[in-house]
Structure 1
Amino acid sequence: MALNGIDVSHYQNGINLAKISADFVIMKATEATSFVDPCCDSHYQEAKGAGKLLGVYHFARGTGTGKEEADYFLKHCENYVGEAILVLDFEYTNQPNSNTVKWCKTWLDRVHEKTGIRPLIYMSHSATRHADWSSVAKDYGLWVARYANNQIVNGYQKDPWLGTEGTGAFSTVAIHQYTSTGRLSGWSNNLDLDIAYMSKDAWKKYAWPNSTGSSGGSVTSKEVTLKKGETLIVKGV
């Protein structure tokens, strides 16, 4: 069981998301504490109108504290909370250390504190193994970027290559971005292609954990994600 989708930003200005085959679309929303993606809301409303599952992400810069950047993200995404998966895009260094892990956890914890929603964290495959992410992995799901190569990928892949090295403290992968040179009908330029190892119900559970009336609060990554070949179990639904 899996979902296919894309992630977009102002670099895809002009794309008609209603014409793109995708179960989900994740939009860039903010960066640091001074940038709002000018295409975020138009992309968001277009994807929502087309019935896509939704996500929004914050591109971390580390120029502000984790709390400051989280608050900036939430200030500009308040109308999306309850509809979209929330994501921290961490890639300002490919060799994180204990300080950067702490920064990311502060951001994630702040968003959870303010919304009751547990965000995902996006990072490169190598970054998962360059630091001890156990304090993050116990509560937050992973969206990992790993590409087999830089060749053009025409259409979605059912079983994209992830390698055998593992993803450090993250025992499961919620979403895998497997190319930045993907091509889909309806857009002539490159796209990031993603596969989410979850059902539509699990996606909605990430976006709004109490939407089904569960009194247990937010779910963790282990409760709504699966490894390849495993059966999905969503607790509390």
Structure 2
Amino acid sequence: MGHIIDISHHQDPTKMNYDKLSAQLDLVIVRTQYGSRVIDKHYKTHHREFQKRGIPTAAYAWVRGISLNDMKVEAIDFYQRTKEFNPTFWFLDVEEESMKDMRAGVSAYVRALRNCGAKKVGIYVGHHLYKKFNLNLNEVDAIWIPHYGKNNGQVTSQPSFPCDIHQYTDKGRLEGYSGYLDLNRLMGTKPLEFFTGKEVVKVDKKDEIKKDKPSDWAKEAWEWAKKEGFLDGTRPKEPVTREELAVVLQRLVKKLG
């Protein structure tokens, strides 16, 4: 399994080798904004460069709303600024007490984000703020918590609260970027595909074995086609492309000629 990192404009694209870094990653979570007024300088570049290399990207926004209405505005700004990249997940980064009732404020943000069209919404909440804020985590699809322990780039701790993603260090090192990176790992029962949007198709081994053998009614013709060199003897039950048909016809004409 590859790494999950989260980045912002503190990770300068000019200092990043996207090819080398992407080869080690499963998912990148990119910051869009710090409140509504501060837009991340490099979020568009990060999304484009990682997606170009086949790496799924999610998005996050630092929450700074000072009222219910302000929270709604931030959510709309977050969505409008990020929707073109179709992120696999939308995370609210809750790390400061920007209003008295953070539970109500964050809930308003979540509702507004979903009303905009966001399908999967998650919350990143500071470990030390988990109990104090008492956020309604039942209304989101994933919980992301930082807990560093020794903070030496390795997993040296475990959050005291249930979560789906554990940010275990901000001192991570990966080839392709000379600075520190935030590294994360999956916790709980949700698979990687839940966050990347990629579906895993499980194939029954019995079905695979059946595909390697021709049906009884076609065995004689299959063996003849192999013997005469028209077919290579593989994939008896797979469909034939026009390219493959052209090769077979060419072989047939040469044999008849």
Instruction: Verify same fold: TM over 0.5.
Output: yes
Counterpart position of 1:43: 46
Counterpart position of 1:139: 140
The answer to whether the Cα contact below 8 Å between 1:121 and 1:143 also exists between their aligned partners in 2 is: yes
2:76 is equivalent to residue 71 of structure 1: yes
Higher helix share: 2
For residues 62 and 113 of structure 2, the distance between their equivalents in structure 1, rounded to whole angstroms, comes to 14
For residues 97 and 37 of structure 1, the distance between their equivalents in structure 2, rounded to whole angstroms, comes to 23
2:194 is equivalent to residue 199 of structure 1: no
What is the one-letter code of the residue matched to 2:60?
Answer: Y
For residues 140 and 97 of structure 1, the distance between their equivalents in structure 2, rounded to whole angstroms, comes to 23
Alignment of 1:9-20 (within 5 A): 9-13=8-12, 14=14, 15-20=16-21
Q: 2:91 aligns with which of 87, 94, 113?
A: 87
2:46 is equivalent to residue 56 of structure 1: no
Give unpaired runs (5+ residues) of structure 2: 201-257
Provide closer, same or farther for how the CA distance between residues 139 and 33 of structure 1 changes in structure 2, counting only shifts above 3 A.
closer
CA deviations 1:98-140 (Å, max 9, x no partner) are: 701111111111111221513111111121122322x333434
CA deviations 1:143-189 (Å, max 9, x no partner) are: 111101233x1xxx5x65214xx32xxxx412111101111122221
Provide closer, same or farther for how the CA distance between residues 202 and 60 of structure 1 changes in structure 2, counting only shifts above 3 A.
same
Give the TM-score of the pair, scaled to structure 1: 0.72
Q: Choose between structure 1 and 2 for higher RCO, CA contacts under 8 A separated by at least 6 residues.
A: 1
Counterpart position of 1:162: 158
For residues 73 and 203 of structure 1, the distance between their equivalents in structure 2, rounded to whole angstroms, comes to 19
What is the one-letter code of the residue matched to 1:203?
Answer: F
What is the one-letter code of the residue matched to 2:193?
Answer: D
Counterpart position of 1:129: 131
Provide closer, same or farther for how the CA distance between residues 3 and 11 of structure 1 changes in structure 2, counting only shifts above 3 A.
same
CA deviations 1:58-89 (Å, max 9, x no partner) are: 111224611010011111112123x4211111
Identity of aligned residues (%): 23
> SS in structure 1 opposite 2:194?
helix
For residues 188 and 25 of structure 1, the distance between their equivalents in structure 2, rounded to whole angstroms, comes to 17
> SS in structure 1 opposite 2:29?
strand
For residues 130 and 142 of structure 1, the distance between their equivalents in structure 2, rounded to whole angstroms, comes to 16
Shift of 1:19: 1.3
Larger radius of gyration: 2
For residues 72 and 36 of structure 1, the distance between their equivalents in structure 2, rounded to whole angstroms, comes to 10
- RMSD of equivalent CA atoms: 2.5
Counterpart position of 2:170: 180
The answer to whether the Cα contact below 8 Å between 2:145 and 2:165 also exists between their aligned partners in 1 is: yes
Aligned length: 192
For residues 52 and 193 of structure 2, the distance between their equivalents in structure 1, rounded to whole angstroms, comes to 19
